[in-house]
Structure 1
Amino acid sequence: MSTTGLRLPPGPPGKPIIGNALDMPTIREWETYARWAKEYGEIVYVNILGTPMVFINSRRLAYEVFEKRSSLYSDRMVSLPMLWELMGFDWSMAFQCYGIWWRRHRRAMHEKFHPTAVEGYKPVQLKHTRELLCQLLRQPEDYVKHIRHAAGAIIMEIGYGICIKTENDLYIHIAKETIRAAGEAGAPSRFFVDLLPWMKYIPEWVPGASFQTQAKIWKEYGRKITELPFQTTKAAIVRVCQGDRVTSYHHLIVLSHGSKTW
């Protein structure tokens, strides 16, 4: 029972003090969550060192909770020390708490990516889809690489007006590592510093503080993915002002605010 007297959702039984800390997976987390869904249902409750967590394991319930009742449940966790403070990923809208900064980001996203606006991006999507099909025909065994490359190419061209290289593109490499970092650091209980925030003050050289070293590496990828494409777009503004066509979302944002703002 919870402290409010209401019944908690079902979940794996925990141990005294540590709760379900030993039950949390560190790799292939989705397989454990899927197993819990079969055993306990589409909503599962766990407690890790006093931190309660609820897992939603069905599309129906996710839509019901996060779409129909978004005003109640759309906020993020109060604290994510690994992602926010050590890695500096608080710039990402995906990890922001509800507030003024989040609303500004959402307004900007909606302005250029609402259903009518995205119609203008179809030529870019069509071009890279055709390239993807050709790559799949030539090298079907590398389908994962080709799909990831196509997705990255579409995002970079629409977002920044950058046409990436076919092989070994720097932007794609940085984006891939940044996404991997966010995925690993965002996994529940992946790092104990999220459960015990005081651990963020432990120096890097202390045994067991390898998360500090990893955070520095991932922080650099986060810096590059936010700065390098943006600087490329800023440099392209000169060409845009000389008559080139404005092709990307970032071009429009920079031009609309004026170069002095940046």
Structure 2
Amino acid sequence: MSIAKDDLLAIPQITVYFISLFLGTVIAHHIVWGRRRGRLPPGPRGLPFVGNILDVPKSHQWKTFYEWSRKWGDIVSVTVLGHTLIILSSPSSINALLEKNSAISSDRPKMIVARKWIGWDHIVAMEDYGSRLRALRQMVAQYIGPRVDTSTLAPLLEQESLKFVMRVWHRPDQLAGEVRRSVGSTISMVAYGYRVESDTDPILEMVDEALQTISVVATPGATLVEFFPTLERIPAWLPGGKWKYIAESSRKLLESLINDPFEYTKKQMARIFNSKASEGSSIPSFTSVSLKNNESSENELLVKDAAASLQLGVIIKSVATLRSFFLAMMCYPEVQRRAQQEIHSVVGFDRLPCLADRKHLPYINAVYLEALRWNPVTPIGLPHRLSQDAILDNYLLPKGSTVIANIWFILHDPDVYNEPFVFKPERYLSSDSTERELDPRAYAFGFGRRVCPGSHYAEALLFLMISSSLAIFNITKPVEDGVVIEPNTEFTGGSISLPPAYNCSIKPRSGGAEALLTSLIGESERI
């Protein structure tokens, strides 16, 4: 099922004016807000009762927030039906509130549709801050966190990177599908010991649909029920209730996505136990290892949710970043040439890059960082909620406020980055005349107590797929009838921002590269 914003906003906007007049809770919020307005951060003036509901766009919100920050400063506030939204647009304000004050800023907003009705509150990224979230994060970190030596996963990651370039070689016109399949297969192996065998794998299909849904429903202001909880009582068949049909379908999908691969792993473990097969007959995974360490029913629920969180989180970040990388290589051939020269000088044409090469390939690492920054996958991150009043730069940020970090603006701020809209990996390499610019990882993977616990693994995977692709291929704009086709570079506008669909020409960059591919055919088939 595809999901459209119009389905979630089924009540005409003008109706909001009339409903709001009769909702005492909204009026009460308005009165309280009015008394405290003088202490709130500045922002666009709203309308009586409904506030800024017509000012907050449903798509590409970061662009509007950027314009607001230019007019009102790094800390902006708006109200929607009595609810306060705080928008932070500077490293200093984000650091002060989401890092140093993470004890009161690590919760999530209610997100009635996403969390309560669909069930995304089972996923680490959507869980409220508390003991359960800490347990989930610790479980993931113990397996693939920053303190875990990535060399333990190196053989799997390197094998999957090899399979990726082989499939792209054979099907260059199916790049987007191969990116999706390879990333999905790799993380499914890590999370569940499950190998994706085709583009139409049911797990991949469910992931696609789940991410499409969350990109819409996690966007602040996307659903009126977030500001009108009374709409929960409206039957699904009445105007304004259609979102319930969507939520119910999405809930069943997410439950299957959480349960099905988990049950697959449990069945594999039982098969090995019952047949007394060797451990080598099954692929060890986060799920199998975590279940063996603790077989309690409570731990089983944690493992199930942690595994799904790991899979979804890595797929979101890695697929979008890889697609951005290929788009950038088409648009910036000089970057591609410099990256290929570095790989050739370190690795040659006798093999593909491996994780051990990473410390010797600073420009490739810089290409990866720039792919993160160029168009951040989550341009405004996921919203935070204040669990108590906070003071920031002498402004009052009321308890219960939704806090949004405009990551996109920070990563495109001309005061922070030179030529921010240009793909320039060298910005992260210091020289005698220049200093390194801000590392985008400080913003791309979350803040404070909500930093992505799987980022260490995602980085290793992205490094290998980027470096292997550059080692083997020339990535150029397609040519049709002698005319170069310019790619569309307008990224999607939801809470997850993806590159547009594009075609590109992908060919082995030399005879040596093609000879290497030919020599690796047998190895890739044995994996």
Q: How does the TM-score come out when normalised to structure 1?
A: 0.87
Q: How do residues 170-249 of structure 1 correspond to structure 2 at under 5 angstroms? A: 170-241=202-273, 242-245=277-280, 247-249=284-286
> Bigger shift: 107-116 or 141-150?
141-150
Match among 238, 251, 257 for residue 288 of structure 2: 251
Q: Given that residues 78 and 85 in structure 2 are in contact (C-alpha distance below 8 angstroms), is that contact kept between their aligned partners in structure 1?
A: yes
- 2:122 maps to a residue whose letter is W
Q: Given that residues 86 and 200 in structure 1 are in contact (C-alpha distance below 8 angstroms), is that contact kept between their aligned partners in structure 2?
A: no
Query: How many Å apart are 1:42 and its aligned residue?
Result: 3.7
**Helix, strand or coil: the match of 1:174?**
helix
The reply to whether residue 114 of structure 1 matches residue 141 of structure 2 is no
Match among 141, 152, 157 for residue 184 of structure 2: 152
Q: Cα RMSD (Å) of the superposition?
A: 2.6
| Rounded Cα–Cα distance in structure 2 between residues aligned with 1:31 and 1:5 | 25
The reply to whether residue 85 of structure 1 matches residue 155 of structure 2 is no
Deviations 1:191-210, CA, capped at 9 Å, x for gaps: 01111112112111112211
Q: How do residues 43-122 of structure 1 correspond to structure 2 at under 5 angstroms? A: 43-58=75-90, 61-77=93-109, 79-117=110-148, 119=150, 120-122=152-154
Greater Rg, structure 1 or structure 2? Answer: 2
Q: Given that residues 2 and 8 in structure 1 are in contact (C-alpha distance below 8 angstroms), is that contact kept between their aligned partners in structure 2?
A: no
| Rounded Cα–Cα distance in structure 2 between residues aligned with 1:138 and 1:35 | 45
Q: How many residues align?
A: 261
| Rounded Cα–Cα distance in structure 1 between residues aligned with 2:266 and 2:229 | 38
2:65 corresponds to which residue?
A: 33
Report % sequence identity: 24
**Helix, strand or coil: the match of 2:85?**
strand
Query: How many Å apart are 1:178 and its aligned residue?
Result: 1.1
**Helix, strand or coil: the match of 1:46?**
strand
> Bigger shift: 57-66 or 244-253?
57-66
Gaps of 5+ in 1: none
| Rounded Cα–Cα distance in structure 2 between residues aligned with 1:63 and 1:131 | 40
| Rounded Cα–Cα distance in structure 2 between residues aligned with 1:9 and 1:129 | 48
Q: Given that residues 87 and 216 in structure 1 are in contact (C-alpha distance below 8 angstroms), is that contact kept between their aligned partners in structure 2?
A: yes
2:45 corresponds to which residue?
A: 13
**Helix, strand or coil: the match of 1:21?**
coil
Query: How many Å apart are 1:142 and its aligned residue?
Result: 4.2
| Rounded Cα–Cα distance in structure 1 between residues aligned with 2:294 and 2:82 | 46
Deviations 1:216-252, CA, capped at 9 Å, x for gaps: 1211111111011111011011244332245100001
| Rounded Cα–Cα distance in structure 2 between residues aligned with 1:174 and 1:193 | 25
Q: How does the TM-score come out when normalised to structure 2?
A: 0.46
**Helix, strand or coil: the match of 1:117?**
coil
| Rounded Cα–Cα distance in structure 1 between residues aligned with 2:257 and 2:38 | 44
* More relative contact order, 1 or 2 (CA 8 Å, 6+ apart): 2
| Rounded Cα–Cα distance in structure 2 between residues aligned with 1:31 and 1:172 | 31
2:425 corresponds to which residue?
A: none
Distance 1:10 1:252, change over 3 A: same
**Helix, strand or coil: the match of 1:236?**
helix
2:156 corresponds to which residue?
A: 124
Q: How do residues 131-170 of structure 1 correspond to structure 2 at under 5 angstroms? A: 131-170=163-202
Gaps of 5+ in 2: 1-32, 301-527
